[in-house]
Structure formats: C-alpha cells, structure tokens
C-alpha cells in the first residue's frame, strides 16, 4: 500500500490524447485538490501522443519509450519497467496505454498497477466495448477501474460507474458519455490507494478492510468516498 505520511508519487502511462491524464492533473492541482499525490512522470509508447503536451504544459517530466524501437514485447516491457522504477512510484496508472503488457511486467508492479476499462466488467473485456453493449441491447454501459493482473482486463474490480444507453446512441456518443464518468472515478480510486484505504491482497481488491465483490463498488454521481 502507498505510504500515507507523505505525498504519493504517480507514474501515468499513455498512448494518445491523455484525457484521463488530464483528470489526474486537475485532481492533483491546487490547495483544495481531490488527490493527495504528485505525478512524478508521464510515459508514452508513442512520440506523437498529445498527452505528452498536457504534461509538458504543467511541467511534468514526460518520456517516450517507443515500443517500435525494441525487438520484442519482453524487451520493451523490461525497459519500460526500468524507466518507471527510476521515478520510484507508489502507484502506476494506465491511462489509455494501448499495449498488452507481459506477465513479467505486470508481476513487477502487481498491487500498485491500475487500469480503467470502458465497460462494466466482467462484461466485454478487450476492444469495441461500446459497440458490444449496443449490439447486446444493454440498458446500461459504463467503466470499471481495476487492479491489473496478467489476465487481460481480468484483475479485481475496484469502482464502476454506470451510464444509461439511449435509444439514439451509437458507439461514439456512448463512448463520450462513458468517458465523462471515467474522469470522475479514476482519480477517486487513486486517492483511495494513496490514502491507504485500498490494496490488493490474495488477488482481491480490499477497500477499508472490506473485500470488494466481482464488480467492485458502484460510483454515485453525488460522489463516492
């Protein structure tokens, strides 16, 4: 668990525009911040990722570890892990990091590696989640913050937020509605971890000494604390 008597250090991994990264930048900013943490570094596997500009604009160290420069997934992950560890993070955050990580990498950071997935897990792991929900005729969609384990999108759920699926929704409109709640629940979970309330133990997510169920806790628009 994160050390609670000092400001926690975060490393955020991105591949694209960094809208979830921005939610962390905003949550960490100011005297009345929602997240008692410092973003120690932002790392992208893509040099063109717009999220790097978001980090640069607020003076956060940002690094490119281009996966195309390595001969294998294992070599890339080992190098990436070394870069992450050089910043001594308490928590590593996958924020639109579009790489399937090797078990060796995941196990290196197990218990302090979290991800957000745009579905109500365990439904629809992998890609095209919004279209899957539409094709299934679901009444709701949403997002899940979870601990990362070697099983793709299979780590224990921590917090979910739900949004209604509207009659005229398409994948893009539904994605936008889900993204708006992602920006709320992801920093919330990070604060739980950084304040010592959240941990992963024996393959389970534990919040306030209570084991969370298969879908974690459900977010309230009034604020989940």
Question: 169 Cβ partners below 8 Å, 6+ apart?
Answer: 134, 177
Q: Are 9 and 90 in contact (CB under 8 A)?
A: yes
Long-range own/partner contacts, residues 25-32 (CB < 8 A, 24 or more apart): 25/54, 25/55, 25/58, 25/60, 27/187, 27/190, 27/191, 29/58
Examine the residue annotation and report whether 146 is marked as an active-site residue of this protein.
no
Interatomic CA distance for residues 136 and 134, integer angstroms:
5
Output the CA torsion sign for 43, 91, 161, 23.
negative
Interatomic CA distance for residues 19 and 26, integer angstroms:
11
Q: Are 89 and 11 in contact (CB under 8 A)?
A: yes
Of 131, 114, 134, 129, nearest to 194 by C-alpha is: 114
Q: 67, 117, 146, 183: which is the annotated catalytic residue?
A: 117
Around 177, how many Cα atoms within 13 Å sit in the side-chain half-sphere? 18
Interatomic CA distance for residues 201 and 48, integer angstroms:
37
Active site residues: 117
């Amino acid at each position: 668990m994160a050390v609670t008597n000092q400001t926690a250090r975060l490393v955020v991994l991105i591949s694209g525009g960094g809208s979830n990264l921005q939610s962390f930048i905003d949550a960490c900013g100011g005297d009345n911040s929602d997240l008692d943490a410092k973003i120690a570094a932002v790392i992208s596997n893509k040099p063109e990722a717009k999220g790097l500009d978001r980090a640069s604009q607020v003076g956060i160290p940002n690094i490119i570890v281009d996966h195309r420069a390595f001969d294998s997934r294992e070599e890339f992950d080992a190098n990436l892990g070394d870069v992450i560890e050089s910043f001594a993070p308490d928590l590593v955050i996958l924020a639109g990091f579009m790489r399937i990580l090797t078990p060796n990498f995941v196990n290196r950071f197990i218990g302090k590696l979290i991800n957000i997935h745009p579905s109500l897990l365990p439904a629809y792991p992998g890609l095209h989640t919004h279209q899957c929900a539409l094709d299934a005729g679901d009444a709701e969609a949403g997002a899940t913050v979870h601990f990362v384990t070697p099983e793709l999108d299979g780590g224990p759920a921590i917090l979910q937020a739900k949004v209604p699926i509207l009659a005229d929704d398409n994948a893009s409109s539904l994605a936008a509605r889900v993204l708006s709640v992602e920006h709320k629940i992801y920093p919330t979970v990070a604060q739980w971890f950084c304040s010592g309330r959240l941990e992963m133990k024996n393959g389970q997510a534990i919040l306030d000494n209570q084991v969370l169920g298969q879908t974690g806790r459900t977010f309230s628009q009034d604020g989940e604390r």
